[in-house]
């Protein structure tokens, strides 16, 4: 069980780094934009799989062991999915920028979403670490 939660450190570091990269990104640098899109796609996929694993496997196991797991954690995962979708949509628009999809507008959307999402994600992860990992 502990190893499942160990990934939280990597997720937190990755989320902070991605948000920092978004703010440092030069929208005119096509290679840098492509790398950012790849990095964001990777992290978003990790977040999706991790949350699905918690909701479908880890949380039920903890509940079966008599550990209280608030339903709010799964609700937060659903909210996270919405933010992930927004980041992924912005990254696709950036990757395939043309006259209909400009990089600057999509980058602004990614930055805004990451600015909102990352602190919420870190709060969520740290709550799990403080309350669920400690109970295992």
Instruction: State pLDDT tens for residues 84-105.
Output: 999 999 999 999 887 776 899 9
Q: What is the 3-state secondary structure (H, E, C) of 62-115?
A: HHHCCCCCCHHHHHHHHHHHHHHHHHHHHHHHHHCCCCCCCHHHHHHHHHHHHH
pTM of the model: 0.92
Q: What 8-state DSSP symbol labels residue 27?
A: T
User: What is residue 20's predicted lDDT score, i.e. its pLDDT?
Assistant: 98
Q: Inform me whether the pLDDT recorded for 2 exceeds 80.
A: no
Residue 66 falls in which region: left (phi positive, over 0), alpha (psi -120 to 50) or beta? left
Q: How far apart are the C-alpha atoms of 18 and 12, rounded to whole Å?
A: 10
Instruction: State pLDDT tens for residues 10-49.
Output: 999 999 999 999 999 999 999 999 999 999 999 999 999 9
User: What is residue 136's predicted lDDT score, i.e. its pLDDT?
Assistant: 79
Instruction: State pLDDT tens for residues 50-90.
Output: 999 999 999 999 999 999 999 999 999 999 999 999 999 99
User: What is residue 8's predicted lDDT score, i.e. its pLDDT?
Assistant: 95
């Amino acid at each position: 069980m502990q190893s499942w939660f160990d990934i939280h450190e990597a997720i937190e570091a990755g989320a902070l780094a991605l948000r920092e990269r978004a703010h440092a990104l030069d929208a005119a640098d096509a290679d840098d934009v492509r790398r950012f899109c790849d990095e964001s796609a990777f992290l978003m996929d990790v977040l999706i799989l991790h949350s699905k694993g918690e909701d479908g496997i880890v949380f039920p196991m903890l509940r079966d062991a008599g550990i209280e797991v608030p339903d709010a954690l799964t609700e937060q995962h659903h909210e996270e999915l919405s933010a992930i979708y927004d980041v992924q949509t912005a990254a696709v628009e950036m990757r395939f920028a043309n006259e209909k999809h400009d990089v600057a507008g999509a980058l602004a959307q990614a930055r805004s979403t990451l600015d909102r999402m990352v602190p919420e994600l870190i709060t969520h992860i740290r709550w799990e670490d403080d309350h669920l990992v400690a109970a295992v």
